Structure 1
Amino acid sequence: MDSEPYVDGAAVSNDLLDDFDDIVSFDDDGTLPGDRYLDREISWLAFNQRVLELAEDPATPLLERVNFLAIFASNLDEFFMVRVAGLKRRIATGLAVPTNVGTAPSDVLAAINTRAYELQLRHARAFADHVKPDLDAAGIHVEMWSDLNEADRVMMHDVFSTQIFPVLMPLAVDPAHPFPYISGLSLNLAVRVRNPKTNKEEFARLKVPQVIPRFVQLPDDDSGRLRFIPLEDLIANHLQDLFPGMEVVEHHVFRVTRNEDVEIDEDESENLIQALEKELLRRRFGPPIRLEITEDMDAVTLELLVRELDITDQEVYRLPAPLDLAGLFEIAKISNPELHYAKHLPTTAVQLLPTEPNMKPDFFASISRRDVLVHHPYESFATSVQAFLEQAAADPNVLAIKQTLYRTSGDSPIIEALIDAAEAGKQVLALVEIKARFDEQNNITWARKLEKAGVHVVYGLVGLKTHCKLALVIRQEKGGRLRHYTHIGTGNYNPKTSRIYEDMGLFTADDQVGKDVTRLFNELSGYAIEKKFKRLLVAPLHLRKGLVKRIAVEAENARAGKPSGIRIKINSMVDEEVIDALYHASNAGVPIDIWVRGICSLKAGVPGLSENIRVRSILGRYLEHSRLFAFHNDGDPQVFIGSADMMHRNLDRRVEVLVRLVQPDHLDEVSHLFDLAMSPETASWHLTEDQSWERVSRSDSGEPLNDMQDGLMREISRRRRSAR
């Protein structure tokens, strides 16, 4: 993408919507086929299959393959807890279900269960047939009780007796003891025992304790091997100790997934935190939506579980042991550099380096000179975003700090910097999104910690989640002038995930951006209602409209014979209006590149619909998380970064922000990323004309294609070295 120099960043601020008042949004005029969308849930399962393919690939370092197996399992758990649970709830209550495929919602649910089951079986085979043998060859053994010799069994009996037995709580089921509550995602043993005196069979449930490592390490046998046994298998082979005098007839492992989505009526809630805490308690008791059982479970035990859990046959997943391979995260953490990805050390962004050796960096001076674009984890979060906020907290000339917080760690230096700033007498506002799914309790905890330190904590707008990533510092400069220093990012202010999530962020002292963000914070914390912003696109009011209008501009330019092009990097592409706009642009001749990590409901390469659209996906050691939007605009590129995916929730029910990049080198950098991602020399997955995902990792001659993430780390490291 060509770029031309700008005289001044603010000069191109453009009143983002007014520039295109003569361009109408695309509406479906009946020319697009009814079956033009891929089902979003099936597309998500295709994404998780791509994760599984990394685990199956012998070229992936062994312990990283173990990690991808665990990620697959964890991903699928959340998929059932939220997506499948939500679909079931909508079907049960008669609400509309966006199936995207023109079929009955119940058929969609059946297709999801069938495909998920196929993938879970493939996942289990990948571990048993490929990863486990390779672990054995590397001296890491996941043993079963039947694999142990007598000496090992004697030692493990002692481990069981002293470290595990005291923690166990067998629960009988009889007229005096109703069927116990089975917590979501817990591993359990279903045990049938017989009283030898009465010959009567009884049922008991035994929960596998989560406070003990899932894989128990065996004592060193001087072989140099690391050996582990699944906790549930160790317990299962000591059931006689738990039921003395009884005959153990059958025992089987099972696991229940529950609906753990949270819904609160904010309009009816006088206190949002109290309402949310009540809902979090209710979440534990959501209805079951999946029952995983070991493949050897007998019919009597299964019938009892299905009846007591009120679950359908369609929701039963019979799988090879061991269940819950998310537990493999423990194995993946084994320290063996040869079995992991080579270590990458992030650099400090060149523009943020001190001007003289041995000097401390001055972020305000650096950002005053020019906008700074940072790219994590290739460039360090700690020496950029974190250090910027720490300097702001300590600087006596800083008067105020305002920040949004969606997900962060409880011991985060970001939280500590905000507390330090408040204790130093600065005005500090933290907009905490306590409705961030599965982080609700954590967010409530550290929101209260911030409040106790004197930080002004607010929770955003009723009915909307605040998902945008904003930090604003107000500083008094020489002469008494107040200046805005702004950071707008694509990822959370979380130092831990910043090491594995790929994200971008813009630091700017541009006065217009500062004023835009100030007005937005006023809207979020008070009662202001803003209609327009200069360098920002803001959801839910303007973001979809602004993007669709830009897509329309590209279509108009293509029809007029002018150069055109659209490039979008996204986590999920679902929104029908945006997809239809892209289809119309494709039919107008606009070349379109979509770089997607997860869900993609858009069809690629279909003649008469999307023949000019290419879709690629890149998965690897880092989770691709940044959202980028680039429009050719007849040689005057419009490029945005931000937090919004093309999903209904992002565009209609969240506060999201995209900021326009204006410096030519930043536009070139984004263009370079797209060139790499779409290059035939880069390993990636391609969405084919039959709408399946094909992994392309080797050239026609069989040589491995380039790993884009490894290449970027080397490239950015060289950039730092050349700047010294």
Structure 2
Amino acid sequence: MSVETTNSQSSGPHPDGGDETLAGEAAVDEGYESPAPTDLAEVAETGPYAPDEAALAAVQEHPERFLDRELSWLRFNQRVLELAEDENLPLLERARFLAIFTSNLDEFFMVRVAGLKRRIATGLAVKAASGMMPREVLESIWRVTAELTQRHARTFADQIVPALAEHDIKLVRWEDLDREEQKECKRLFRDRIFPVLTPLAVDPAHPFPYISGLSLNLAVVLRDPKAGKTHFARVKVPPIFERFVPLGNARFVPLEDVIGAHLKRLFPGLEVVETHTFRVTRNEDLEVEEDDAENLLAALEKELLRRRFGPPVRLEVEESISSAVLELLMGELEVTKDEVFKLPGPLDLRGLHGIADLSREELKFPAFVPTTHSFLAEVESAAPVDVFKAARRHDVLLHHPYDSFATSVQRFIEQAAADPHVLAIKQTLYRTSGDSPIIDALIDAAEVGKQVLVLVEIKARFDEHANIRWARKLEQAGCHVVYGQVGLKTHCKLALVVRDEPDGIRRYVHLGTGNYNPKTSRMYEDLGLITTNTAIAEDVAHLFNNLSGWSRNATYAELLVAPDSVRSGLVERIYHEIEHHRAGREAHIRIKANSVVDEAIIDALYLASREGVPVELLVRGICALRPGVPGLSENIRVRSVLGRFLEHSRVFWFANGGEHEAWIGSADMMHRNLDRRVEVLVRLPGEESRQPVTDLLELAFDDDTSAWELHRDGTWTPNDGGVHLQEKLIESQRRRRA
């Protein structure tokens, strides 16, 4: 038996260097933004399609037209929990969904709840677009969270643990161990764990210690048998060890149980009276005043050091905790009764990722291997894919993870780095993996003399340390590294390759909906376009110049670029659909997104619905739009699909009077994306690239496709249509391979 020194507790909500998967990314990615709504009338002033004033007034006067975004997020995490409860899913995948639920909720409190509390404390919080007051939102969050965390704990104890035991995987507590297992744990504690532990006493000479965010801790009450005095101490459970200690024969015990059973070694001569596990969540939202920072890199590094000391926003304790110890923790940590969550142990189930990773393939989703897109491998060959040759023949619409990232996007960059005819490579990097071949290719290109521009977003939440590291490594290799524009995160996914060919300079472009991350590309559903389309390439070249220089050209032929034109461009196209419907032409709107919150876009969709335009939304996470309201949204349908892959692509499809139009890109329908980020949507240039998107949406909205359906009261109910979107796409991919 051994304890591997892996940071199994630190797999955060963003998996770019870790193993977090599926439902947890990007639903929470920004501090608490102002709930002041965007006004559709003001947006319409930037375009020729002004809404009918009476119709708009009727929409905006409708009571409760917006669902609350925070509660909608909690309902999203409830859907993740429902996957863990689904007995039709493989058992180890259900265990993983429990871990994902925990990570998701951690980030929600670290960012969203912390930001809400800060705004309330400073008097900046105003009524939300949903009509709820900030205190009302916070109290609702506490109430719903209490319900969901209890349900989460019951699912673990009553469903997952017994089901695992039936398959000879046993998660046991200390009292369940036999003598030999206890003896082995004693040796393990003595040889490996004890040297790492640091007990911290609390008395007049030792103030209450700082409790780091998300750390697991033991609150220990001790008694001196000679003096008769009682003492308090805190012992941190080291995150460098596995959360569940392997005992052999697929038996595991929580690490805190092993430590708790040997506390006498830490406090010789004292009696251990009580031991309780607790966990603190802190505000981990960053604030960097870019306008005042001469060196953004240095300013961000300084702020990252402060992150560890944010104020507490949640205290999790085992329900067996004594009232005296709980009062002590609440007083020292300055948390209120509402911020305390009493749960059955064990706490912090992020460690279930380690259980889900066990080599029991019969308890997991069937193995899936992506294939090379047919346009990139038109004939079977052992030679590497020639992306340039393929792109000259076709626009290539990629659908990951079904289409291999390695033989398409990664190959594109690697081929560009090695090709002597390539003169320059320009790329944005928002998140990438710890051992990124993309980074290596860009470094190789710079070292052989190519012009390499890399826009690294060092403010990508929870990846700041990694991106600072990559930025410095790229600079040292000779790449031109820039950090985007002050006040904006650069979230768009762009790569531009300039190649000298016999008929002149040709530009090759990749635009995508997901990060340049080979690891997450196997778990995230995303779309990407590789093209030599002249108009698109010209637009992307101008955009890179804007990002690296001083220009602010906001006009593009085939792109919509936030913060200048994504919201207004989409609103204009929604108005187009209204006009088509009035003229008796084909009108239909379909949107696939991670979140739909922006009030102006929602109001435009309400106007379309009132005119009779069918509107269908596929939303993975937050949806503030309220469907099915008579006189407002009876023509709007909202669905959600979760599964083995994280649905991450953003698609905007319009019937456009019969001349169908489709856009893909990086932007969600949220204030942060439309106002505070550089986001890009690209119009798919031809039927060859549009048709796969049309087919995807047809399948997603088919009544026979399983999904959750959103109701007007904000609740979601599963609709088991019998066909799962992702499994159907896997099946189609396997047929193509055969």
TM-score bracket, shorter-length normalisation: over 0.9
* Offset, 1:25: 5.3
Contact 1:348/1:720 (8 A) holds in 2: no
Question: 2:277 matched to which residue of 1?
Answer: 253
**How has the CA–CA distance of structure 1 residues 353 and 718 changed in structure 2, closer, same or farther, with 3 Å as cutoff?**
same
Q: Report the 3-state secondary structure (helix = DSSP H, G, I; strand = E; otherwise coil) of the residue aligned with 2:616.
A: strand
Question: 2:428 matched to which residue of 1?
Answer: 404
Are residue 491 (structure 1) and residue 511 (structure 2) matched?
Answer: no
Question: 1:6 matched to which residue of 2?
Answer: none
Q: Report the 3-state secondary structure (helix = DSSP H, G, I; strand = E; otherwise coil) of the residue aligned with 1:178.
A: coil
Are residue 159 (structure 1) and residue 225 (structure 2) matched?
Answer: no
Q: How is 1:32-181 mapped onto 2 (pairs within 5 angstroms)? A: 32=60, 33-97=62-126, 99-181=128-210
76-85 vs 26-35, which deviates more?
A: 26-35
Question: 1:29 matched to which residue of 2?
Answer: 57
Contact 1:558/1:589 (8 A) holds in 2: yes
CA distance in 1, matches of 2:250, 2:142: 37
- CA deviation string 1:158-207 (max 9, x = no partner): 22111211111100011111110000000000001011111111110000
Aligned residue type for 2:499: R
Question: 1:12 matched to which residue of 2?
Answer: none
CA distance in 2, matches of 1:96, 1:242: 47
* Offset, 1:104: 1.8
Are residue 592 (structure 1) and residue 615 (structure 2) matched?
Answer: yes
- Percent identical pairs in the alignment equals 60
Aligned residue type for 1:490: T
142-151 vs 272-281, which deviates more?
A: 142-151
- CA deviation string 1:297-326 (max 9, x = no partner): 101101111111111111000110000011
Question: 2:632 matched to which residue of 1?
Answer: 609
Are residue 459 (structure 1) and residue 459 (structure 2) matched?
Answer: no
Question: 1:4 matched to which residue of 2?
Answer: none
Question: 1:648 matched to which residue of 2?
Answer: 671
Contact 1:39/1:601 (8 A) holds in 2: yes
**How has the CA–CA distance of structure 1 residues 440 and 669 changed in structure 2, closer, same or farther, with 3 Å as cutoff?**
same
Are residue 373 (structure 1) and residue 397 (structure 2) matched?
Answer: yes
CA distance in 2, matches of 1:395, 1:714: 36
* Offset, 1:637: 1.2
Match of 1:268 among 274, 289, 292: 292
* Offset, 1:361: 2.3
Are residue 714 (structure 1) and residue 738 (structure 2) matched?
Answer: no
* Offset, 1:411: 1.4
Question: 1:549 matched to which residue of 2?
Answer: 572
CA distance in 2, matches of 1:179, 1:638: 61
Q: How is 1:159-238 mapped onto 2 (pairs within 5 angstroms)? A: 159-218=188-247, 220=248, 225-238=249-262
Question: 2:314 matched to which residue of 1?
Answer: 290
Q: Report the 3-state secondary structure (helix = DSSP H, G, I; strand = E; otherwise coil) of the residue aligned with 2:253.
A: strand
Match of 1:339 among 334, 338, 363: 363
**How has the CA–CA distance of structure 1 residues 346 and 633 changed in structure 2, closer, same or farther, with 3 Å as cutoff?**
same
- CA deviation string 1:637-666 (max 9, x = no partner): 111000000000000000000000122132
CA distance in 1, matches of 2:184, 2:736: 55
CA distance in 2, matches of 1:177, 1:550: 64
Contact 1:422/1:454 (8 A) holds in 2: yes
Question: 1:11 matched to which residue of 2?
Answer: none
Contact 2:72/2:714 (8 A) holds in 1: no
98-107 vs 647-656, which deviates more?
A: 98-107
CA distance in 1, matches of 2:479, 2:487: 24
Q: Report the 3-state secondary structure (helix = DSSP H, G, I; strand = E; otherwise coil) of the residue aligned with 1:352.
A: coil
Contact 2:77/2:101 (8 A) holds in 1: yes
Match of 1:387 among 411, 416, 420: 411
**Unaligned 5+ residue runs, structure 1?**
1-16, 700-704
CA distance in 2, matches of 1:685, 1:548: 26
Q: How is 1:553-592 mapped onto 2 (pairs within 5 angstroms)? A: 553-592=576-615
Match of 2:330 among 300, 306, 314: 306
- CA deviation string 1:581-612 (max 9, x = no partner): 00010000000100000000001111111100
Question: 2:692 matched to which residue of 1?
Answer: 669
* Offset, 1:238: 1.1
* Offset, 1:24: 2.1
Q: Report the 3-state secondary structure (helix = DSSP H, G, I; strand = E; otherwise coil) of the residue aligned with 2:606.
A: helix
Question: 1:280 matched to which residue of 2?
Answer: 304
CA distance in 2, matches of 1:532, 1:253: 57
710-719 vs 270-279, which deviates more?
A: 710-719
CA distance in 1, matches of 2:678, 2:622: 21
Contact 2:399/2:526 (8 A) holds in 1: yes
Q: Report the 3-state secondary structure (helix = DSSP H, G, I; strand = E; otherwise coil) of the residue aligned with 1:341.
A: coil
Are residue 319 (structure 1) and residue 319 (structure 2) matched?
Answer: no
* Offset, 1:151: 2.5
Over 4 Å off, 4+ runs: none
CA distance in 2, matches of 1:173, 1:203: 6
Contact 1:373/1:505 (8 A) holds in 2: yes
* Offset, 1:34: 3.3
Contact 2:494/2:512 (8 A) holds in 1: yes
349-358 vs 639-648, which deviates more?
A: 349-358
Question: 2:683 matched to which residue of 1?
Answer: 660
**How has the CA–CA distance of structure 1 residues 209 and 632 changed in structure 2, closer, same or farther, with 3 Å as cutoff?**
same
CA distance in 1, matches of 2:434, 2:180: 44
362-371 vs 567-576, which deviates more?
A: 362-371
Aligned residue type for 1:714: E
CA distance in 2, matches of 1:680, 1:477: 49
CA distance in 1, matches of 2:530, 2:632: 39
Contact 1:25/1:545 (8 A) holds in 2: no
* Offset, 1:464: 0.2
CA distance in 1, matches of 2:349, 2:655: 45
Are residue 420 (structure 1) and residue 444 (structure 2) matched?
Answer: yes
Aligned residue type for 1:348: T
**How has the CA–CA distance of structure 1 residues 383 and 254 changed in structure 2, closer, same or farther, with 3 Å as cutoff?**
same
Count of equivalent residues: 692
Match of 2:465 among 416, 427, 441: 441
Contact 1:25/1:549 (8 A) holds in 2: no
Question: 1:635 matched to which residue of 2?
Answer: 658
TM-score for both structures, normalised by structure 2: 0.92
377-386 vs 230-239, which deviates more?
A: 230-239
TM-score for both structures, normalised by structure 1: 0.94
- CA deviation string 1:342-371 (max 9, x = no partner): 011100000011556344422111101121
RMSD (Å), alpha carbons: 1.5
* Offset, 1:720: 4.2
Aligned residue type for 1:707: H
Q: Report the 3-state secondary structure (helix = DSSP H, G, I; strand = E; otherwise coil) of the residue aligned with 1:161.
A: helix
Aligned residue type for 2:594: N
CA distance in 1, matches of 2:88, 2:210: 43
CA distance in 1, matches of 2:334, 2:689: 56
Aligned residue type for 1:353: A
Aligned residue type for 1:206: V
Contact 2:59/2:603 (8 A) holds in 1: no
Contact 2:585/2:658 (8 A) holds in 1: no
* Offset, 1:237: 1.2
